[in-house]
């Protein structure tokens, strides 16, 4: 399938992308660890089947020094030994926050308690905002059939 529209060249799409990127900058500049940000974004994108965002976050994480082993195991993080307890809590929140319609109850109290054990209020605010933002990004890319494969690390720096 070909992309339905190029939101980056459309005037409205470009204006929206700039504001969307600015919201992402708030999260990027937060105290939430960068590795956690990329792992969470990658996991939500895997669940949502967003090839564009999987491509982006895999490449950004690798460019920042993330190991291939960890990137390859994100989809199976529960069956892996390479993620910290804090990262596991963030990944659980990402999954439950992404699968709202499937779970019917949203984020469980158990997952929320695990997140509270490992992150302070500013990090949690960034984590919740990140889950919301990546899910919105996934929907944008999937709706317009934006395919993965062409992303280059740092290519959206001009939007900030």
- Find the mean pLDDT for residues 33-41: 97
pLDDT at res. 54:
97
pLDDT at res. 159:
53
- pLDDT digits 0-9 by tens, 63-97: 999 999 999 999 999 999 999 999 999 999 999 99
Tell me the CATH number for domain 11-150. 1.20.1290.10
Q: How far is CA 119 from CA 114, 128, 140, 149, in A?
A: 9, 12, 29, 33
> Over 90: is that where the pLDDT of 107 sits?
yes
**CA-only gyration radius of the chain, Å:** 15
Give CA–CA dist 25/16, Å, rounded. 14
Domain boundaries of the chain, sorted by first residue: 11-150
1 pLDDT band, cuts 50/70/90, is low
């Amino acid at each position: 399938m070909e992309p339905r529209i190029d939101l980056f060249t459309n005037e409205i799409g470009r204006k929206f992308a700039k504001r969307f990127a600015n919201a992402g900058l708030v999260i990027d500049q937060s105290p939430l660890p960068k590795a956690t940000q990329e792992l969470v974004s990658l996991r939500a994108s895997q669940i949502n089947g967003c090839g564009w965002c999987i491509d982006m976050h895999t490449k950004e994480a690798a460019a920042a020094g993330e190991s291939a082993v960890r990137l390859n195991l994100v989809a199976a993080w529960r069956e892996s030994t390479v993620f910290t307890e804090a990262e596991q809590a963030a990944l659980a929140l990402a999954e439950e926050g992404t699968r709202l319609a499937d779970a019917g109850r949203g984020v469980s109290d158990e997952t929320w308690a695990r997140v509270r054990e490992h992150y302070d209020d500013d990090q949690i605010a960034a984590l919740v905002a990140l889950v919301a933002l990546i899910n919105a990004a996934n929907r944008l890319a999937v709706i317009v059939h934006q395919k993965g494969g062409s992303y280059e690390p740092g290519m959206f720096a001009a939007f900030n």
